[in-house]
Structures are given as C-alpha cells and as structure tokens.
Structure 1
Amino acid sequence: MTAQEQRLERLRDRVEQHVQSIYHDNPLHADLGGLTDQLLALMRLDGTVAMPRQYANHWSERDAIVITYGDSLLAEGEKPLATLKRFLDQHTAGLVSGVHILPFYPWSSDDGFAVLDYSSVNEALGDWQHIGAIAAEYDLMADLVINHCSSRSLWFENFLKDQDPGRDYFVTASPDMDLSAVVRPRTSPLLWEVKTARGTQWVWCTFSHDQVDLDFRNPEVLKQFVSIIRHYLDNGVRLFRLDAIAFLWKIPDTSCLNLEETHEIVRLLRTLVEHARPDALLITETNIPNRENLSYFGNANEAHCVYNFSLPPLLLNTLVTGDCAYLKQWVMSMPPAQNGTTYFNFLASHDGIGLRPAEGLLSDEELGVLIATMQGFGGHVSFRALEDGQSRPYEINIALFDALQGTVRGKDELGMERFICAHAIMLALEGIPGIYLHSLLGTRNDYERVKHTGHSRAINRHQWRMPELETALADPHSSHGQVLARLKELLAVRRRQAAFHPNATQFTLHLGGAVFGFWRQSMDRRQSIFCISNISDLPQQLNLLDINLIEHHQWMDLISGEHYTSRDQQLTLAPYQSLWITNLPDHAAP
C-alpha cells in the first residue's frame, strides 16, 4: 500500500468513526460504510488527500476581519459586491486580512438567514465572479446556514409535495409533545402547522416560521451540506461560519441545545474541510452562555475559532459604568486557547448585543441598568421565550457608536474617545479581531430602516450610498472620517506586533476598578506589551511601577509614540485613553 493509500485509509476510518457516532442507532441509514464513502466522494477526498497539521495556527497578528452585508455599500450602476471590494481596496488594503460577507445567497427573510438556494449568489449583489474577486485578495468568510432554510425553498416545497429532494429533510413533531425544555431564541411558536401531501404536519421552527429546521437525523441532509461546503471551497471560501449550530440536533425531552450529535457533526465537518484545504477554518456561531460556548473548541478537534460572545456586553457595561470588575473577572476566567484554536473577538455585528452570554456574569439588576441605559441612547430590546411562557431580554439592538455616547448617567461629550477605547481593548486581546463595517465607519442608529422593515435589528444594518459616504469620510470634521482614520491607525500598529499574535500569552493586571489592563508576550518571548485603558470618564493616575516594567528595557507607547525613561514615572491617563506599552520600538517589532 502506498503512502497516499495509507493516508486515505486513515481518513476513511476517521470519517467512519464520526458517522458511527452520529448515526449508530438511526434506522434511516443502515449502510454507514456506504455513507462514509459518499461523504468522501462529495468532498472529493477519494483520491489525493491533503494532510492537515495538528495544532497548527493558521493565523497571526496580521489578521483582522471586516464583517459586512454584501449590500451595505451601494453605488449607482455597480453591483454591491464590486462596490464592497472597491471600498476595501481603497480604505483597508494592508490593514485587514479578510472579510465576512453575511449570507450572499437568494433569501426570503431575516436579511439572508432564510436561504432559498445555497448554490447561488443573490443576483442583486453580484455573482460568483464577484465573490471570487474578493476571495482572491482577502480571506473570505461565508455563512453556512446549516440549522434551517427558507419555507419557500425548493427543499421545503418538495417536503409539502412529498417529493425528493426534501421529502424527509425537515424536523416534525406532534403538538401534543412536551417541548417545554427546548431552549428558544425567539418568542414565536416553536411548531408551525402546514398542509402536505401526507396530511397535516407540524414542522419545527427554532427562529421563525420562514426558517424551517433541517433534520440531520436524515443523512441525505448531511450529504447536501457536505456538497455545499465543497462548492464554497471551490469558489474561494476559506472560513466557514456555522450559523446557529448549537440548535442543530433535536431530541424531545431535552433542551435541543449543544447535544452530543451536534458536536460530533462539527467534528466530522472539521475532518472533511481540513483534509480538503488544510488552512480552512470553522467558526461556530453560538450565542449562548460562556461555558457552553467554549465547549465548541472540543479538544482542538471541533471549531478552530469560537465567537467571544461575552465580550460585547461586558465591555459595553464596563465603559458605561466606569468599573472593569466584571470584565476583569471574565478575562481572568477565560482559558488560553490551545494551539490550533483561537477566539474570534468582536464588539458589534449585524445582530444585536447578546445578553445570554452575560447571564451568570452580570446580575439581573445590572443587566436591567445596562438595558435602560441603551434605551436612553435610542436602542431597542429583543426578547426570547422561556419555558414558563414568559419572555426575557435576549439582545440589545443599537449601533455601537450610539451605545457608547455616554454612561449610566446619560450622554456626554466623550463618545468618540469611549468608542476608540473599546476597540483598543478588543484589538489587543487574545484572539482574531472582527470589526463590523458600521463600527469601522461610526454609523449611527438607523431608525428609518427599523420603521421600513419592522425589525429592531435593522437599527444597525444601515445601507450607505457611496457618494454620501465618500463625502463624510473626506470631511475632517465628520465623526465617520475620524472613526475610520483612528481605527486604521490602531490596525496598522497592531499587525506589526508579535505580542498581538492571537495565541500569544495574556495575563490580567490589577490596576483598580477604573483602569483595565493586561499583558501580552510574544510566543518567542522577545516582545511584551502592557495594554492599559482608562475605562472611566475621569483622569486616572498610573505609576509605571504598578505594571512591573523590566528596568534595563526601553519602553514606549505604540499608540502615542511616547517613550518612558523611568520605571517609577507617574502617568495621567485622560478619560478613555489607552496605552500599548512595549519594550520594542514599533519599527523593530516583527
């Protein structure tokens, strides 16, 4: 047997173990060996097989991702995907490594997350050539909307007609079943009554009645998604965001959240994807309490990256209260990501600021104060259903720039500095940073879009007309231009520092409630960076002795360029000022 044949045999054995774990008691598919071969063939792994390196870090300090819808930027006579690439080339080239384009497929609702056809690009945005042009210049992240699809998709229409493909693709349940334990992110009824060729059926809808949950107990559904992944790889996708993955597998009388079969499917997809393209990454989107979220790392055999969902609400709470105690406590509790895994850090996205990841970290009273503060800044609140039929706040819907326009005492004149401080903290933390396009541009709350769509999340999904945006960016007095310029400066500095590698060492500093700090050290131990931020609206005093600078090193602040000549130098931090104090001159940092 040749070495290649041996590798292929080992891969086949590994995939079959995944398949056995998922479907060992499934009557729908007895030929599990045949299923293994079909999956390998669909991923085109039945010939030459790439060999991924275990625990390899396919990222560095040079990585940062822009998060955006495909049509957030509009120009007359130009497809939005072409406009997006033009903006990235002109304003972020050399500063960001990749772009997450939110669902760019034909869809029926939820701004793309009710997919009609996974194999096509929405014609209103562009085509696969536009996607390929972006993927040729940037690491492309795409959504694998894997838990559900549109009720107007061909699959669901075939389900109604009792035809293939789609006949047995969707989860059904009896309305008499006790489903009270099922965790819900929405308040709509879980089951939806539909008329089919087989009579009345009740289909499972975790999110909305236009988003019908797919039944992965049927291996045909798994095969469809493996084929979709291969198609995306062929079109340049490198990072796969597994949307709503925590809800994937359903077992009555359970929460139907984070079930073992769900984790095993993630492990299977990782095995297939990394053998097809060794530097491809899986990122799990699991907007759930922190401990559950971390479980998707597995033993470095599930997600390469997990969203740091607790960061947005905790950092927001820190900056509006002027007290970093909870943020510090959480950062200290986070385990260092082992090689081959890392965190995906973000402060804002197309969704709201999730509150579930803050459960157990902030009290109900503290969450209530945060919610009331955000409502005072024009934010809305979305709710989820509880077992007893009651509802609970699920997320705050607000543009981040508006969310940081004041404190719990109300609005003030320090919003810009508070906003930049938030990003200076996020960019320095262990992990890969993701910056929402509307944060990069300092976009404000879009009340007209909320009114037009009827959805609270639209408040942070503005569409910029390019002439208007270009005018704003060219105006030195515009907050939009100032935000972009200052964030670009931070990005430019960050990518030159080895101590900002996503897996570089991180330790939390104890500098009081109003000053948040942590220490990063490069993996070769040459560079140290002390990341210190005044998270209050008052000046704060800092003695360099408090951060234990090594005496024989020369130290400087990477942000201001100031050099420090004495270890016992006393500094006054302006409200929301951040320092990145390093022992290596910026130009000498690797």
Structure 2
Amino acid sequence: MSDSLNALIQKVTQQLAVIYHDVALDMTHQALAERLVNEMRIGETDTPPAPYSNHWSEQDVIMITYGDSLIKAGEKPLNTLRDFADNYLQDHVNCIHILPFFPYSSDDGFSVIDYSSVNESLGDWQDIQAIAQDKKLMSDLVINHCSSRSLWFENFVKGEGQGHDYFFTANPHDDLSQVVRPRTSPLLRRTETANGEQYVWCTFSHDQVDLDFRNPEVLSQFIKIIRQYLDNGVRIFRLDAVAFLWKVAGTKSINLPQTHEVVRLLRTLIEHAKSDAVIITETNIPNTQNLTYFGNANEAHCIYNFSLPPLLINTLITGNCLYLKRWLMSMPPAQDGTTYFNFIASHDGVGLRPAEGLLSDPEIGELINTMKSFGGAISWRTSESGEQKAYEMNISLFDALQGTTNGPDKWGMQRFICAHAIMLALEGIPGIYIHSLLGTRNDYEKLKNTHHNRAINRHRWDYPTLEEKLADQDNPHAKVLNQMLTLIDIRTNQKAFHPNATQFTLHLGLSLFGFWRQSLDRRQSVFCVTNVTDQPVELPISELNLVITESWLDLISGLEISDLTKAIELQPYQTVWLSNQK
C-alpha cells in the first residue's frame, strides 16, 4: 500500500472514530475506513488533493434548474434542457445545477425513491452524461431522508432486506421539545411494521423519512451513490438539508458535531476520488450557524449565502441598504479552498431564518406583508417554543421586486436587473435560477393545482412557446435574458470578480450600496456601487479614492470617468462597476 493511500485510510479512520464515538459497531473504525475507501474506488495511483486549492474562477456561473423546467412534446426534458443550454447559454454559463433528477414521490424530487436511477420521464444517465460533457454538472445528494415509497422503507416495514435498519426511530415519550423543525407537521410518523409499532423521525414531511447514520451501512450506501454520480459526470455535490443529518433526543438535533464530521468525511473521500470535485452544503439556518460549515477549510468547499436573498430584497423594496451593508461587513473572507455560493432566487422560497438576528421582527413582518401584496405566499414552521413562525416567502423574484413597500411601480425591470448586478459582483460563485434568467412570473395555476406554496416559483415552460418569446426582442422575457447574459459576460471577464478576490464594503450612505473588489494579483480594482432607491442619487467619485494616475470606466455602461472630482448621477436602481482595467 502506498504511503498516500495509507495516510488516507488513517485519516478516514480518525474521522469515523469521531462520528461513531458513542455507537457500538460490529467492525473496527479502520476496517470501516478501508471498506469506504474501497467503495469509493480510491487506488494507489489517485493523486491526493492539493490543500487549499480553489477549483473555481470568475468564469464560473451556475444555472439552477429542474430537469423538466422546459418541456417540448415528444422530447425528453433533459434533451430539451441541453438544447436550451446549447442555443442560449453557450459560453455565458458554464455550470448547470439539475435539481433532483431521480424517481421521487413528492416535494418535486426531494423525496427520492431510487438514488441510482434517472427519472425515466426526464431521460437517462446518458442524457446526464451528455450535459456533463458540455457543462460542469451540479447534483443534489438528498442525504437526510428518502421517500416512504422507496424499497428501503418498504423493507423497513417488512423488517427484512436492505433498508430494514436504515431509518431513524424515536419514542414519543423521548424529550423532543428542543428539536428544530422547518415544518409544522408532527415530527414522528407512526408506522406499523413486522417488528411492531414504530415511530419514524420525519424532519420535513411524513413522505420524507429520515435516515439513521448511526448505522454505518447507511453511510456505506451513500458512498456508493456518490461514486456512481462521479462516474456519470457530477463534479459539484449539493448536500441537501445536511444540517439535520444526526439526531439525538434531548437536543436540537441540528448542526451536531457528528454532522460536521460526516461532511468532513465526505469531502475527504470525494476529493481523493476526484481532486476537482466540490461539496456545497445546503444549510438554510441562521447566518452564524451557516458559516460553521466551512470548518477550518476542511468541510464544505462552498456554503450557500442564505442571508443574501432576504436582505437584498429588503434593501430594494425599502430603499435602505443599512442591513445589507452591516451583514456584508460582518462576513469573513473565505479561506483559499472555500468560497460562498451566492444566489437570490431558487426552486425554494426566500428563507427567513437566515434573516433572524439581522432584521427585527417588525421589519421581517413588513417584508412578509409586501411580498403577500405582490402575490406571494408564506410557509410556516413550528419554533422551539411551539409557536408558528414564518419560515419562507414563496414568490418569483421578478414579482418580489415589482415595487417597494409603497406598492408596485414602473421600476420592476430595473430593480430586478439591479439585484443581479449586485449578486454577480459579490465575493463567491453566482447561482442563477432559470426562472430569473427568463423573468418568469408567479405561477398561480400551478399553485392552485398542487396546493404547495413552492409551486408558485416552479413554472414549467412550453419550450416552443418560450422560443417564440425569446425571438421577439421586445418581449419582456427576451429583454431579461439579454440583459442578464450581458452582465454575466462582463463579470466573467474581470479578474477582480474571482470568487476569492478581496472585498471591502464602502460607506456611501443608505441610498448607495457599494463594495470594492481587487483581483488576486492586485492589478484590477472594481468599485461596485448601486442606487437602491427609486430616485436619482449622486455618487461623489471623490469619496471612492480612485487612484488618480489610472484611467477609470464603468464596465456596464462604458462611461469613462475623466474627472475624479465630480459626482455622477445614478438613476433609480442603476449599478456601476468602476474599473481601472477594461
């Protein structure tokens, strides 16, 4: 055995000892480590990953989509998606996150029946591979729970076969008062099994039954699943709802030390199998808790910037950037080998837990009421004290930004593009929901048919109809796509927008939100400033302290800054990216 392989086994052994320190196993930690390394097929010739390596650049932009967000009669949706990418995304967007593309029973894919198969209504593994040949592919690893209709759970009910011991059960008399829930449904599902009545832990819904990672067979199965995804071209893993993975009665059962160690273990195995593979943790929790998933640059490569969507929307509907600026100032620079995953819209709603402690309850209440007035819905959770609290706002981003707290206005398009101009320039990798690229509005019909709040922002486009709209340059959807791709193209050509480039917050009052980016080689500086109000605002150039010996221009408009002593007037929701390099 090579020294590097032996070192890997010893590292995994130590990680397993932390995870299972109070769990009796029928094998040693080292024997389990050797098994997992073998299941991941890490061999003597695999090169250990270089520490603190950034596997990304300013050219990385991820589009988030369902496999069937675009539908064309007689064609597999994954082929339609690939056609859209070929015809419209081309070199603008180099990564695609396909939301769960497996057979499922509920939650639009997040209740997985079979992890090893592609949902036949979408296509097959060859279609996934074809997309992975042209774009970096991001996939969900729905690791906390699976479907109650899965073979595993059927075997649990029967009390025999693979899966019979894969699920977490509890006693209704256990102390579960502290458990953090993202839903209002009962935590435990009463289930009749061959072994008698059992109560299965369900963090989300009773169709999404939680897996029991105290059983190393569950971990082993997921290592095999990860290996299969790697073989089929997946290079970015989104660990769905991973914060809830380890449970202990009498605790909050969220963010437990064993959960963090499992993330570290998965990173170790994944990056030894494919040195450029990346883990992103999906932890929709308060900001300070979310940041812990970086670890010491040894857990997630990327974490979702969950506080960005509610704070940015709040800024643009109030015309006041105070809270967004405070938050940005408090965010630590990501170490090399880690970065933020920035997004402002997704298949889920706009989470409110990440705004807790950043916005006051009355301010969150005003935000909620404004979104409701714009046609949005609100989803609720049960808090630790048993009260009902707003968990997320369900609304398309285009509709969320159609106006201010005073109501709808004429600035909706500008406000929407402005939000993305801010997001695209921030430290981190930008992720853009397909419905943001297309300016899709609230889908009230789907909401009515499904009775699921999140359906409002999960529209399915008839692809030929969409093509007609995109061919008409005066159509709002075509205007949105063209403006978005233009901004993306500017971003991907600026070294100062590398995900790990330096970032400092600017202090320009409450109407102007700004920050400074500097490239890793320190040659390029970009001052990113946005008027977040519906009135013109003057930007005093002198307050930016631009170096007088350099030439400055706005990358977005092309305006050259010839006099550094004068102010320039920013129109409502206008953004400038002032750079010393073209």
Q: What TM-score do you get using the length of structure 2 for normalisation?
A: 0.99
Aligned counterpart, 2:518: 521
Cα distance per residue 1:220-259 (max 9 Å; x no partner): 0000000000000000000000000000000111000000
Say whether residues 1:305 and 2:305 are aligned partners: no
Q: CA deviation at 1:569?
A: 2.0
Say whether residues 1:99 and 2:64 are aligned partners: no
| Distance in 1 of aligned mates of 2:564 and 2:99 | 47
| Distance in 1 of aligned mates of 2:290 and 2:548 | 41
Letter in 2 for 1:410: G
Q: How does 1:532-547 map to 2 (within 5 A)?
A: 532-547=529-544
From 113, 130, 134, the equivalent of 1:133 is 130
Is the CA contact 1:404–1:415 (under 8 Å) kept in the aligned structure 2?
Answer: yes
Identity over aligned pairs, percent: 63
Aligned counterpart, 1:201: 198
Q: Which aligned runs of 4 or more in structure 1 are off by greater than 3 angstroms?
A: none
Aligned counterpart, 2:13: 16
- After superposition, the CA RMSD in angstroms is 0.8
From 376, 381, 395, the equivalent of 1:379 is 376
From 482, 485, 498, the equivalent of 1:485 is 482
Aligned counterpart, 1:580: 577
| Distance in 2 of aligned mates of 1:55 and 1:31 | 31
| Distance in 2 of aligned mates of 1:469 and 1:46 | 47
Point out where structure 2 has 5 or more consecutive residues left out of the alignment: none
| Distance in 2 of aligned mates of 1:498 and 1:30 | 50
Aligned counterpart, 2:143: 146
Say whether residues 1:27 and 2:38 are aligned partners: no
- SS of the aligned residue for 1:480 comes to helix
Q: CA deviation at 1:467?
A: 1.4
| Distance in 2 of aligned mates of 1:572 and 1:288 | 39
Say whether residues 1:231 and 2:239 are aligned partners: no
| Distance in 2 of aligned mates of 1:122 and 1:169 | 23
From 493, 504, 509, the equivalent of 2:501 is 504
| Distance in 2 of aligned mates of 1:96 and 1:29 | 48
Point out where structure 1 has 5 or more consecutive residues left out of the alignment: 586-590
| Distance in 2 of aligned mates of 1:450 and 1:435 | 22
Is the CA contact 2:9–2:30 (under 8 Å) kept in the aligned structure 1?
Answer: no
Aligned counterpart, 1:271: 268
Aligned counterpart, 2:291: 294
- SS of the aligned residue for 2:104 comes to coil
Letter in 1 for 2:18: S
| Distance in 1 of aligned mates of 2:191 and 2:43 | 41
| Distance in 2 of aligned mates of 1:391 and 1:29 | 43
**Residues 386-395 or 528-537, more deviating:** 386-395
Say whether residues 1:285 and 2:282 are aligned partners: yes
- SS of the aligned residue for 1:29 comes to coil
Aligned counterpart, 1:462: 459
Cα distance per residue 1:160-201 (max 9 Å; x no partner): 011121111000011111201000000000000000000000
- SS of the aligned residue for 2:130 comes to helix
Q: CA deviation at 1:471?
A: 1.3
| Distance in 2 of aligned mates of 1:542 and 1:166 | 62
Q: CA deviation at 1:23?
A: 1.1
Q: CA deviation at 1:389?
A: 2.5
Say whether residues 1:362 and 2:393 are aligned partners: no
Q: What TM-score do you get using the length of structure 1 for normalisation?
A: 0.98
Q: CA deviation at 1:46?
A: 4.1
Cα distance per residue 1:49-89 (max 9 Å; x no partner): 22101000000000000000000000111100000011011
Cα distance per residue 1:540-574 (max 9 Å; x no partner): 01121011110010000000001011111220100
From 527, 530, 542, the equivalent of 2:527 is 530
Q: How does 1:80-99 map to 2 (within 5 A)?
A: 80-99=77-96
Q: CA deviation at 1:216?
A: 0.0
Aligned counterpart, 1:121: 118
Q: CA deviation at 1:360?
A: 0.1
Say whether residues 1:339 and 2:329 are aligned partners: no
| Distance in 2 of aligned mates of 1:10 and 1:495 | 38
Aligned counterpart, 1:111: 108
Aligned counterpart, 1:45: 42
Q: CA deviation at 1:47?
A: 3.5
Is the CA contact 2:349–2:392 (under 8 Å) kept in the aligned structure 1?
Answer: yes
| Distance in 2 of aligned mates of 1:488 and 1:188 | 41
From 36, 59, 62, the equivalent of 1:62 is 59
Letter in 2 for 1:566: D
Letter in 2 for 1:203: V
Cα distance per residue 1:433-484 (max 9 Å; x no partner): 0000000000000000001111000000000001111111122221111000
Cα distance per residue 1:197-219 (max 9 Å; x no partner): 00000000000000000000000
Is the CA contact 2:10–2:30 (under 8 Å) kept in the aligned structure 1?
Answer: no
Aligned counterpart, 1:452: 449
Say whether residues 1:558 and 2:555 are aligned partners: yes
Aligned counterpart, 2:349: 352
| Distance in 2 of aligned mates of 1:170 and 1:373 | 41
- SS of the aligned residue for 1:510 comes to coil
From 159, 172, 192, the equivalent of 2:189 is 192
Aligned counterpart, 1:588: none
| Distance in 1 of aligned mates of 2:312 and 2:172 | 42
Say whether residues 1:396 and 2:385 are aligned partners: no
Is the CA contact 2:96–2:135 (under 8 Å) kept in the aligned structure 1?
Answer: yes
